């Protein structure tokens, strides 16, 4: 358990420390009594612990690079299924491609005409002096920013509170 606790202290700020300690507790109960190393945890639990690592993210935690690199390679294979951590109750992560629009802009569907519901643009509407066919409204449309860390896990802490941990899968 000491390895989990020290890894959690190094990899997260105070906001998520209790949540990561709860994850580590779940992992510890799944290991045989003689096991004391974090890398003995099931792969899905390694991925969960590493994905939840913040400041530094998983890239900056040497223990996390091998299981996350293995995950990224496995995702390219046919029939890939997300490795899970039994007992953690998280399953596969969520994914949110786009970041919030800048202040004053609202998300909107793109103008491709193909539908699909992707809100890949941000628009800002403002009154205009008029003109031909614009109904007195100026529209500024920009591409919606992409999230740098689009994947997330919602993890329930020991007190029942949920924390969201964002991560990327870029090498």
Span 56-67, pLDDT tens digits: 999 999 999 999
For 142, the 3-state DSSP assignment is strand
Task: Identify whether residues 133 and 154 lie together within a single domain.
Answer: no
The pLDDT, as a whole number, for residue 36 is 37
Span 99-144, pLDDT tens digits: 999 999 999 987 665 656 688 999 998 887 665 555 678 889 999 9
Q: Report the share of the chain in percent with pLDDT over 70.
A: 68
Is 52 inside any structural domain? Answer: yes
Q: Please tell me the distance from the alpha carbon of residue 142 to that of residue 132, in angstroms, as a whole number.
A: 22
- Evaluate if residue 33 carries a pLDDT over 50: no
Residue written as token pair 């990327």: 168
- Evaluate if residue 74 carries a pLDDT over 70: yes
Task: Identify whether residues 134 and 159 lie together within a single domain.
Answer: no
Is 101 inside any structural domain? Answer: no
């Amino acid at each position: 358990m000491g390895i989990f606790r020290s890894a959690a202290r190094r990899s997260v700020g105070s906001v998520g420390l209790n949540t990561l300690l709860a994850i580590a507790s779940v992992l510890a109960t799944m290991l045989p009594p003689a096991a004391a190393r974090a890398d003995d945890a099931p792969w899905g639990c390694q991925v969960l612990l590493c994905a939840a690592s913040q400041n530094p993210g998983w890239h900056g935690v040497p223990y996390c690079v091998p299981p996350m690199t293995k995950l990224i390679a496995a995702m390219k294979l046919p029939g890939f299924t997300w490795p899970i951590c039994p007992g953690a109750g998280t399953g596969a992560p969520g994914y949110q491609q786009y970041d919030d629009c800048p202040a004053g802009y609202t998300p909107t569907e793109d103008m491709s005409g193909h539908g699909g519901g992707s809100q890949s643009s941000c628009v800002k509407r403002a009154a205009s002096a008029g003109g031909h066919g614009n109904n007195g409204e100026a529209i500024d449309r920009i591409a919606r920013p992409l999230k740098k860390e689009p994947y997330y896990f919602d993890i329930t802490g020991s007190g029942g509170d949920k924390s969201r941990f964002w991560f990327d899968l870029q090498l």
